[in-house]
Amino acid sequence: MKKLYPVLFLFFFLVSGTLKSQISQGGTPVSFHSNSLKKDIDIRNIPAPDMETIMMEDMENDGFGKAYRIGIIIPVNLNPQNSGTWETLSNGDLLWRLQINMPGAEASNLLFDRFVLPPGAKLFVYTPDQTFTIGAFTEFNNHESGLMATQMIPGGSSVVELYMPKNQEFSYELEITEVGYNYRSTGFKVQEKDLSCMVNVKCPEGNNWADQIRGAAKAQIRIGSYWFLCSGSLVTTTTNSCQPYFLLADHCTYDNAYATAANMNQWVFNFNYQASNCTGTTGPTTQSMTGCTMKAHDTYGQNSQGSDFYLVLMNNSVPTTYQVYYNGWSKSTTAATSGVGIHHPEGVIKKISTYSTSLQNYTTHWRVVWAQTTTNRSVTAQGSSGSPIFDQNKLIVGTLTGGGSFCDAPADPDYYGKFSYHWASNGTTNAKQLKPWLDPNNSNPTTKTGVNYNACSSSSVEEIVAPNLNLNVFPNPATDVVNVSFENYYFENGTVRIYDILGNMVSQVVVSQYQNEIPLSVKHLSNGVYFIQCSNSEHSFSKSFMISK
């Protein structure tokens, strides 16, 4: 995604989503602490793609600044009925394990087109040596589409483990239909190109940018049968709603065609992937989310026209435990005098690049030359595309299209699509502008400061609780089950969600057809105050209740 040549034309409720994000619940796989399980389980070997052809294609595409491919998506047909090893535990619960091998892969991930788990079920994915684990994924990851994707884990071998409570063996759906063969810039191995001049965000250069750093993230982007790499940032709205809008570059999302809506439901975003000190080389990889919808973009990736922006809305709220920052922005046309860029070059831990001379102004883009700083002269690389550049006031003023800067050419310039052009200059419709999405109240400010994850406005979902549309929640207090019903309203084609007092979604049920009462299991929840929210295209209802066991 990093171009190799200059381009001049270049409360209590969190936001409601349409697809449950890939937020793991933590915990440890059952097999890690059981000595009675089988040592040998079913292994399926997946042939590697034709890497010679892939690498030749990449050499050509990288030279022309196209989307930066990092992986191949390979079709498979794996499920607990046709593969894997089942075992019955001493208490009657069930365990299914399957090892998937893809020789030569730098990292791998799994893609599901059916992912439906009952209460109490847990799915983990880990390396065979048990040194790297993601999960648990549970019923909270269910959605009517059935789609789900995991983040990458290192190496070409992974074990998927499904724990099922007894008597639940027929109440799930699990289909692994594709696997990701990721072969470069995964962040798990030494990168292909020299990144020795890059500066960690935990170096002195990042000391004054701690908030902005928390808003930047890495994006693993699916387009058709391939994975691509990009960087980007959460951006705030004028209402401080903390809706998870994520801004990146249009060319990150185009490879002979744009990513489809289904593709985007499997995009993976990694937050806080950064070293804990200035010299570190690794960082935590557990804070990830899956899925988004496109809201607005230009056509830069397709025809090099516009300012190269792409705005998505993540399918769920970012968990409060991620402690993110929704970056502010400026649509001023006056060139910034100094600032930084924050990015993930070639998928490695988060880096910061500094400039100390004014940006040069072109119609659609800013031109920047990076400065020598105390630590080094950090630049950008492939995978940095889409990342934000900030002005001296710590506001986003552009997104990276590309340029010529590398560690061996630190004085070559880079080019960032102007936020001011993104705002309303790429077209007259909502699908071509940032303004309708980031300024819903039409206040039209020139600048907007960022907002911290714990300082959001009350609710980003319009809540309508009228006397003739009354929502009933019973019993209250509840113990194992809470029921939802309505007076004088037929609720259907919507979603019922339960949130805890901190605004974290802890349960959801999709309602297709009208039911007199909608039962929700709460036996897995602790005592305390919770909130039920029922939303469809017509209305949103909410009400509090208690759990007392």
Tens of pLDDT along 197-215?
999 999 999 999 999 999 9
492 within some domain:
yes
**C-alpha 202 chain-centroid distance:** 22
Residue 74 lies in a domain: yes
Task: Say if CB 299 and CB 364 are below 8 A apart.
Answer: no
pLDDT in the model for residue 328: 98
Average pLDDT, the chain: 88
Whether 308 sits among the annotated catalytic residues: the reply is yes
Residue for token pair 């020795």: 196
Using the 3D structure, point to which of 127, 159, 182 is the last residue of a domain: 182
Confidence band, pLDDT 50/70/90 cuts, at residue 493 = confident
What tokens appear for 16 in the block? 């409601």
CATH number of the CATH domain containing 530: 2.60.40.3080
- Band (pLDDT 50/70/90 cuts) for residue 236 is very high
Q: Is residue 116 part of a domain?
A: yes
From 182, 207, 241, the end of a domain falls on 182
Q: How far is CA 37 from the centre of its chain?
A: 35
Domain extent for 505: 467-547
Residue 279 falls within a domain, yes or no? no
Written as one letter, the residue type at 349 is I
Exposed e or buried b per residue across 8-41, where buried means at least 16 C-beta atoms within 10 angstroms of its C-beta: eebebbbbbbbbbbbbbeeeebbbeeeeeeeeeb
- Residue with more model confidence, 268 or 7: 268
Q: Which one from 308, 391, 414, 439 is the annotated catalytic residue?
A: 308
* Active-site annotation holder among 353, 385, 459, 535: 385
pLDDT at 537 over 80: no
User: Is 13 part of a structural domain of the chain?
Assistant: no
Active-site pick, 143, 251, 343, 539 = 251
> Which element (helix H / strand E) includes 135?
strand 133-137
Number of structural domains (the chain) is 2
Asked if 344 is an active-site residue, the reply is: no
pTM over 0.75? The answer is yes
> Dihedral of CA 194/196/202/208: which sign?
negative
Q: If pLDDT is split at 50, 70 and 90, which confidence band does 26 have? A: low
42 CB-contact burial (10 Å; exposed 0-12 / middle 13-18 / buried 19+): middle
Q: Is 132 part of a structural domain of the chain?
A: yes
Percentage, residues of the chain above pLDDT 90: 65
* Mean pLDDT value across residues 437-456: 93
- Whether residue 465 is predicted with pLDDT greater than 80 in this model: the reply is no
Which is more confident, 49 or 170? Answer: 49
Mean pLDDT on 6-24: 36
Domain presence at residue 217: no
Query: Does the structure show a pLDDT above 50 at 227?
Result: yes
Q: How many CB atoms lie within 10 A of CB 251?
A: 32
What pLDDT does 503 receive? 65
pLDDT, mean of residues 495-501: 80
Which DSSP string do the residues of 63-129 spell out, in sequence order? HTT--EEEEEEEEEEE-TTTSSEEEE-TTS-EEEEEEEE-TT-SEEEEEEEEEE--TT-EEEEE-TT
Domain boundary among 155, 182, 209: 182
Q: Average pLDDT for residues 293-302, to the nearest whole number?
A: 97
Residue 45 lies in a domain: yes
Question: Is residue 385 among the annotated active site residues?
Answer: yes
Q: β-strands 447-448, 329-330: how paired?
A: antiparallel
